[in-house]
Structure 1
């Protein structure tokens, strides 16, 4: 029996038997994983790696049988070499065809409807699998994963870690390329080595039905321990004797001998099939043969009889990929190229998509092939939303096929720039554009290329070059649409300059031009630019107006509307907006960034930290860490509030490295402010003040957007550093911001607070507290109350106690333990005269139930009660991603791996009465 054929025997029979000779140890490890997942030990990942024919599929099928015998719901699929452009095809091959299927057709249709949103799709797919695994364990097996389409590959790299707390076992087979599969610490990798001499001898006895002569054992050495090659040799020997060439040539020549006995039409049919892939439809082969499918029955029957093909009821498959490769290798290279090119044309003519034709074009297209150039471009457009890297590769390949001086190069090149930019390959996009510009294109083409390069330069944060190029292009442009887009790009670039008045005029002109031209892209850019200009200028009402108009026009910009509303203190509107965002699966990382910003404002520090961790994870999944610096700055500031200096320094190290690797103006400003906070906490007040001064001096366009929530902290740093002038400048800017935003309590209260610190004015501190009591930010109120209490304490005023008590309670409720302890010390001084004492906050531990934050305890109890991540998120009104982040932290702190173990701990804590006040 071939080791790659399905096993006839049940999973409970002995280990050493045909098809599994020499794989006893690997099978035992798989058996242990199946039983561990079944018994509630959490999820697991297993990789079976090895060369073709080494026995991966046989072992996978045996594991599938074991899992079914243990009650698993099984998805068993296979990736195909020439199907790697079809989004999610590799996973779908198993998810939809189990008994019962893991996903229903309705589930998959819902996913397919949003295949252009990778993060949303993978999260939704993970939710569905999590829900299915609530009642019984799940096995997801994918064979030949090295051929997986990019979306399936992305899902396979993300979902196993996402579902490790659920009873889901992932079993993947592939070639020796471990970096392909996103391995983690809980991954079991099983490299399949060549069979031992003993195992080969057992295999020989299985095939030959008796003892193996010594001469055959010597011949088997030529198989290199590969069980498929050995089995094929033995089958040939059983039928024809032992004479003949040594492998691996023997396999190709053996297949050639079989082919020589076939009728010419059958031989042609098999060669066509080998070009189409290991699995192919009869209709595709018929189209390429130029014959009706009904006329190929004799050829199919003969190929099946020769044990070269297998019919699974839907497609024809070469019995093993090595057999297909042997047939394919017997074709001359020029014939292969011609057949691939003909296959592409035939598939298109038969109504198949460009995605089906492109794999053949990549193997056959030559320079000047205009049909191939067009099909590659169409395929790039089809997949750019969900697989931008693949789209970029296809677009670049299309450009390579264009003759150097052909006018077509500009249109094809423009699409390549767009695709490269979407894929985050900004330097390559800019170089591609500059190479096209060096050919001195006509002025209208010049302007169009500069227009698409504008997005590239924005992502490179090269706003000076963006301004220069848009200005030059505007002098040459005649097309009103391109003019509107260029003007909008110019406004966006100027939003980062010092003359925000001129930037606003440019943005308003861009919006008017966009509306006259009726161009959607220009209007989006203009509204975005105007919103950024307003935020950087501190005009919260205008920022909300522009970003609201933008998100109504394009829901992808809903996070920008949320952030603008947060700056305006309209937290209720932000909550409503984020509750509706689940219906718009766009830019999830940015949505959660907005949610984290809101939670910081609300003083929900644990949730904010989880949100920022989630943003980092999502952006790392997509390999676009746009918010890494700002995320780590926020997490570092949260760590300082909690008193975790070690964590703050770890965040600062990441910020320093990231800024060095990817410098941009905004990152430098945030970085320097964080450096100032750390230096001030370390007692280096002069250095801290100088860092604040540098933010003020070098980054005027961002200073208020950056310092707006932290201006009081900046004033304290300036005063401790002995720079009264800097403190006065900061207070004056806070006052100007308050004047611009009379309806924003935080702006008014913060201005009063900053001025009170500079002028040592108790009355202004009281006024600041009164205003901030009407606002939504507890930490701003706590800071003002603490400063008021300290001032009153210094003057001997008994009113210090209630002010300090309010500050202490607000900080403690938020989890700002360091600030709460500082205020507690002052409060003890205020209350010592009356004999009252305040309780010290219990320090957090690193491990165990006491290490969990309040938010983590809520999540733990919901999960222990049987909630899925999705239903827990709905209960807590947060994102399922945030619940997943909390759950990962819970598992780490409690040293558990599964929901079953978590439920036991929660039950024990509740029974013992130790989990109170959660």
Structure 2
């Protein structure tokens, strides 16, 4: 009997009772590792078989991701008699997945013609995309058949596609079961079942260290019994020793085997500090910055080993923490203790800690964790609090983090104040000083001061290279690429992108890595179209909804990511972005920008003019307003009766883009207006010499840059949003003014002249 799972089991029994029906036949089971999901599925299969229902059981595994439809195919192969798929007649290439999915569907239809069927699929957090796509449609397509589905996934891993699948199935009527830790009464019942007696006080306390996790609890109790570490007298089970049984250590080692070596070493080192610890002190002890530890800490949280409290990190289960400490080799444990004794964590420095002992560095790291998860209000509150406490001089500076967050939210006045404080506080702190021009560059970029943004980002890049801070260099390069692209200088943006790719920091914090990848995607999309942009964005999409740093780094990011996904007909990823953006808005009801950004993304996804009008009127960033107005104009231009409204929207976009010097975006809107029969001048008359480089106009210089890179007239026209004939005209003017007759000569002269400095 499964203790503490009465409600969950009742739901599954109802599913088994309706297996022969055609409604309410999908149950979703999810929970942390060790909560008993697999046991529920196994018991359900046993009961179904006893009732005369056919059963097909499958399971995903981490390595099985390489096998399309693996869990479903393994479930089919378990049926008696074995199911034979005519693999010899299968197509090659891309058609194979479609063929396999159709074989699965027809086989299920055939099997349910004579008897009801229960399909159980476990560990779907490891399922391959083809399996998840099949499960998205099979329950509804086979709703008229006597077929029941029991699907299970782990919840501590990144939400990912399996979580989105469960959301969609639940919206369509599936029943969702969240398997939670056992309560105290159920724990006592499990102890009595396993040991045949009620627990004594010490055994009850030890069992509580399993945190209600059935797997850990049973491993503990079984191990104690196997090692004769418990004795029953007068109906009470009492401990005879204090050491954890080997069975627990084996289980914990298996759990740690699911994380990277770096994360495992981090957990072993921090366990010595205690069950809860300050991330800032852990970084100091390991000779790292808190930001450098962020990827490993996030992996440990995703694996369910660590949990974040309001101000610290702690081991989720005391039993796991104890096992890690006890299995660290004694010499290593002693060395770590000696290190802590020589440099203990400060306990009462009043200017650097709150009353609860949290340092500025700890608050900064927790604010970044909250921000990365889309809890912007919480992250901002923690950053503001950290900014009031002087830090240690290590990167990142609290006021710098606060400036970045305020800039992302377009709270520019407060960001300017925070930056002024960061500048003053950075005196005498080299890494902090190097960060100031990068912060200024991001502020200038957000405010539309592109020339100033490029100038300050160049200074920040030089300082970052001098000090050897790769994460700061990556931030500077992402600003340089974005500013150059907006300014219409695609060749320069591409050079910055190549520079960033060549030096890209390994293990950079997610908030740095995702910003860089978003900038790379924008540049690649501008250069090679939506498909090229998608090639740089897979990690940005796949990180959602757990890591939302790309969506919060600029107000149009969500809408742009939806637009790119829709351009390549990837509706799944477009929906994932909209869901993540709306999740951010829901978690931050007091902030306006996330809600407007979500409306913009939803408007693009659903082609909803009302949502786009809201975004156009409520975006606080002029560039974002222009983007929403352009999206609205494109949508309305498809309706002949709305042509005038489309022109008005595009004109609004043109004005807003012009106000922030977004030359490339303005050129694209002019192209859209020309398509509607409207022409807008895009040049400014200035006095030029009659020949030589100085005689070239801005448009001629842009043509020169693109052609010198080897682009054809058609490719250059696509980049500049003008016709191929216009490019040819400007190119003839360039040849005449420079006294040349070929593209080869132009490329040679451009290299000699260095019209655009290479970085």
Normalised by the length of structure 1, the TM-score is 0.46
CA distance in 2 between partners of 1:732 and 1:512 (Å):
36
The one of 696, 707, 713 aligned to 2:672: 713
Give the deviation of 1:513 after TM superposition.
0.2
CA distance in 2 between partners of 1:598 and 1:250 (Å):
49
Does the aligned pair in 2 maintain the 1:30–1:63 contact within 8 Å?
A: no
Does the aligned pair in 1 maintain the 2:480–2:496 contact within 8 Å?
A: yes
Are 2:310 and 1:396 aligned? yes
The one of 451, 459, 469 aligned to 2:400: 451
CA distance in 2 between partners of 1:465 and 1:675 (Å):
31
Does the aligned pair in 1 maintain the 2:630–2:649 contact within 8 Å?
A: yes
SS in 1 for 2:383: helix
Considering fraction of residues, name the structure with more helix: 1
CA distance in 1 between partners of 2:563 and 2:295 (Å):
39
Give the deviation of 1:728 after TM superposition.
2.3
- 2:149 matched residue in structure 1: 169
SS in 2 for 1:170: strand
Are 2:685 and 1:739 aligned? no
Give the deviation of 1:413 after TM superposition.
0.7
- 1:214 matched residue in structure 2: none
- 2:627 matched residue in structure 1: 670
CA distance in 1 between partners of 2:2 and 2:132 (Å):
28
Give the deviation of 1:579 after TM superposition.
6.4
Query: Which string of whole-angstrom CA distances, capped at 9 and with x for unpartnered residues, describes residues 349-368 of structure 1?
Result: xx998889999x99x9799x
CA distance in 1 between partners of 2:716 and 2:193 (Å):
88
SS in 1 for 2:354: coil
CA distance in 1 between partners of 2:247 and 2:576 (Å):
40
CA distance in 2 between partners of 1:499 and 1:191 (Å):
52
CA distance in 1 between partners of 2:412 and 2:130 (Å):
34
Does the aligned pair in 1 maintain the 2:122–2:152 contact within 8 Å?
A: yes
Query: Which string of whole-angstrom CA distances, capped at 9 and with x for unpartnered residues, describes residues 575-633 of structure 1?
Result: 68866987999769989x99x999999xxxx9726236633325525846988667667
Are 2:403 and 1:419 aligned? no
The one of 45, 56, 65 aligned to 2:26: 45
SS in 2 for 1:424: coil
Are 2:587 and 1:654 aligned? no
The one of 10, 19, 27 aligned to 1:30: 19
CA distance in 2 between partners of 1:533 and 1:461 (Å):
17
Unaligned stretches of 5+ residues in structure 2 = 78-96, 109-117, 140-147, 155-162, 239-245, 250-262, 315-346, 506-512, 586-593, 687-695, 708-712, 732-759
CA distance in 2 between partners of 1:658 and 1:59 (Å):
51
SS in 2 for 1:165: helix
Give the deviation of 1:708 after TM superposition.
3.2
The one of 54, 57, 67 aligned to 1:73: 57
Are 2:216 and 1:280 aligned? yes
Give the deviation of 1:739 after TM superposition.
3.1
Does the aligned pair in 1 maintain the 2:612–2:629 contact within 8 Å?
A: no
**Greater Rg over alpha carbons, structure:** 1
Give the deviation of 1:284 after TM superposition.
5.3
- 1:428 matched residue in structure 2: 378
Give the deviation of 1:428 after TM superposition.
1.6
SS in 2 for 1:707: helix
Alignment of 1:677-696 (within 5 A): 677=634, 691-696=649-654
SS in 1 for 2:150: strand
Task: Pick closer, same or farther for the CA change 1:395–1:76 going to 2, 3 Å.
Answer: same
SS in 1 for 2:26: strand
CA distance in 2 between partners of 1:457 and 1:620 (Å):
23
Alignment of 1:515-554 (within 5 A): 515-554=465-504
- 1:620 matched residue in structure 2: 579
The one of 394, 412, 415 aligned to 1:466: 415
Does the aligned pair in 2 maintain the 1:673–1:695 contact within 8 Å?
A: yes
Give the deviation of 1:102 after TM superposition.
11
Does the aligned pair in 1 maintain the 2:364–2:401 contact within 8 Å?
A: yes
Are 2:223 and 1:296 aligned? no
Task: Pick closer, same or farther for the CA change 1:715–1:102 going to 2, 3 Å.
Answer: same
Alignment of 1:35-184 (within 5 A): 45-47=26-28, 60-62=44-46, 65=49, 70=54, 72-75=56-59, 139-140=119-120, 163-165=135-137, 169-171=149-151, 182=167, 183-184=169-170
CA distance in 2 between partners of 1:709 and 1:31 (Å):
58
- 2:84 matched residue in structure 1: none
Task: Pick closer, same or farther for the CA change 1:75–1:662 going to 2, 3 Å.
Answer: farther
- 1:803 matched residue in structure 2: none
Give the deviation of 1:545 after TM superposition.
0.3
CA distance in 2 between partners of 1:399 and 1:663 (Å):
36
Task: Pick closer, same or farther for the CA change 1:420–1:354 going to 2, 3 Å.
Answer: same
Does the aligned pair in 1 maintain the 2:407–2:443 contact within 8 Å?
A: yes
- Give me the CA root mean square deviation: 6.8
Task: Pick closer, same or farther for the CA change 1:749–1:381 going to 2, 3 Å.
Answer: closer
CA distance in 1 between partners of 2:150 and 2:729 (Å):
56
CA distance in 2 between partners of 1:753 and 1:380 (Å):
42
Task: Pick closer, same or farther for the CA change 1:749–1:431 going to 2, 3 Å.
Answer: same
Task: Pick closer, same or farther for the CA change 1:735–1:588 going to 2, 3 Å.
Answer: farther
- 1:868 matched residue in structure 2: none
- 1:485 matched residue in structure 2: 435
SS in 1 for 2:312: helix
Does the aligned pair in 2 maintain the 1:73–1:139 contact within 8 Å?
A: yes
The one of 508, 515, 536 aligned to 2:458: 508
CA distance in 1 between partners of 2:372 and 2:646 (Å):
39
Does the aligned pair in 2 maintain the 1:731–1:751 contact within 8 Å?
A: no
Task: Pick closer, same or farther for the CA change 1:498–1:191 going to 2, 3 Å.
Answer: closer
Does the aligned pair in 2 maintain the 1:531–1:544 contact within 8 Å?
A: yes
CA distance in 2 between partners of 1:740 and 1:387 (Å):
49
CA distance in 1 between partners of 2:728 and 2:721 (Å):
11
SS in 2 for 1:495: helix
Give the deviation of 1:474 after TM superposition.
2.0
Task: Pick closer, same or farther for the CA change 1:136–1:451 going to 2, 3 Å.
Answer: farther
The one of 190, 200, 203 aligned to 1:269: 203
CA distance in 2 between partners of 1:474 and 1:548 (Å):
30
Alignment of 1:195-274 (within 5 A): 262=197, 268-269=202-203, 271-274=205-208
Does the aligned pair in 1 maintain the 2:522–2:533 contact within 8 Å?
A: no
CA distance in 2 between partners of 1:701 and 1:391 (Å):
47
SS in 2 for 1:475: helix
The one of 756, 761, 767 aligned to 2:725: 767
Give the deviation of 1:509 after TM superposition.
0.5
Normalised by the length of structure 2, the TM-score is 0.54
SS in 1 for 2:432: helix
The one of 185, 189, 201 aligned to 2:175: 189
CA distance in 2 between partners of 1:753 and 1:22 (Å):
59
Does the aligned pair in 1 maintain the 2:56–2:119 contact within 8 Å?
A: yes
More deviation in 535-544 or 277-286? 277-286
Task: Pick closer, same or farther for the CA change 1:275–1:61 going to 2, 3 Å.
Answer: farther
SS in 2 for 1:72: strand
CA distance in 2 between partners of 1:410 and 1:22 (Å):
48
Give the deviation of 1:186 after TM superposition.
3.9
CA distance in 2 between partners of 1:445 and 1:66 (Å):
64
- 1:561 matched residue in structure 2: 520
Task: Pick closer, same or farther for the CA change 1:704–1:392 going to 2, 3 Å.
Answer: farther
Task: Pick closer, same or farther for the CA change 1:630–1:657 going to 2, 3 Å.
Answer: closer
Does the aligned pair in 1 maintain the 2:3–2:190 contact within 8 Å?
A: no
- 2:115 matched residue in structure 1: none
SS in 1 for 2:227: helix
More deviation in 385-394 or 549-558? 385-394
- 2:589 matched residue in structure 1: none
CA distance in 2 between partners of 1:430 and 1:396 (Å):
13
Task: Pick closer, same or farther for the CA change 1:488–1:65 going to 2, 3 Å.
Answer: farther
Query: Which string of whole-angstrom CA distances, capped at 9 and with x for unpartnered residues, describes residues 694-745 of structure 1?
Result: 43444433643433333222356694xxxx8xx2247989984453243264
SS in 1 for 2:359: helix
